[in-house]
């Protein structure tokens, strides 16, 4: 179970509005792969004013950037995970994003919009690849 207070979850549900079901679906999807999951909200300059970090054992798995009716997922894949992603069954649009992403010491960062529940499968694959043991 996520480590988030029930009262805090209610506060964010109200603030997220129409994006809440997508946000909750992402959290539930990631939690199925990495439990316990820590949820941390940080102030941000994005329009929503906050960014949500999903962490497992102090490792940041995803950054969630809420929008009006969707959530953009930001993920950073190290070079090993990048290689695995490129030979995986991920959609070609995501592979293109990764190929075009500038490589940094911590990896390649991409942003993937999540607008419907069907988009959760892509996020699940990305997190599974990121968490693949060495």
Q: Which long-range contacts (CB under 8 A, 24 or more apart) does 82-85 make?
A: 82/107, 82/108, 84/129, 84/132, 85/126, 85/129
| Cα–Cα dist 48/107, whole Å | 26
49-84 residue pLDDT tens: 888 999 999 999 999 998 888 999 999 999 999 999
Terminal alpha carbon distance of the chain? 26
The answer, yes or no, to whether the previous bond of 36 is cis (omega within 30 of 0) is yes
| Interatomic CA distance for residues 52 and 61, integer angstroms | 11
* pLDDT tens per residue across span 88-131: 999 999 999 999 999 999 999 999 999 998 999 999 999 999 99
- Ordered structural domains, the chain, with CATH: 6-130 (3.90.1150)
pTM equals: 0.88
């Amino acid at each position: 179970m996520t480590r988030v207070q029930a009262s805090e979850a209610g506060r964010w549900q109200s603030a997220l509005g129409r994006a809440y079901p997508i946000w909750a679906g992402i959290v539930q999807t990631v939690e199925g792969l990495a439990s316990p999951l820590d949820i941390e909200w940080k102030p941000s300059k994005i329009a929503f004013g906050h960014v949500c970090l999903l962490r497992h054992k102090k490792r940041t798995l995803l950054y969630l950037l809420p929008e009006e009716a969707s959530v953009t997922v930001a993920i950073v894949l190290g070079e090993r995970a990048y290689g695995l992603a490129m030979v995986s069954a991920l959609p070609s649009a995501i592979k293109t994003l990764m190929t075009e992403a500038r490589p940094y010491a911590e990896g390649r960062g991409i942003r993937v919009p999540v607008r419907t529940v069907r988009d959760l499968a892509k996020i699940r694959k990305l997190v599974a690849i990121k968490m693949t043991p060495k």
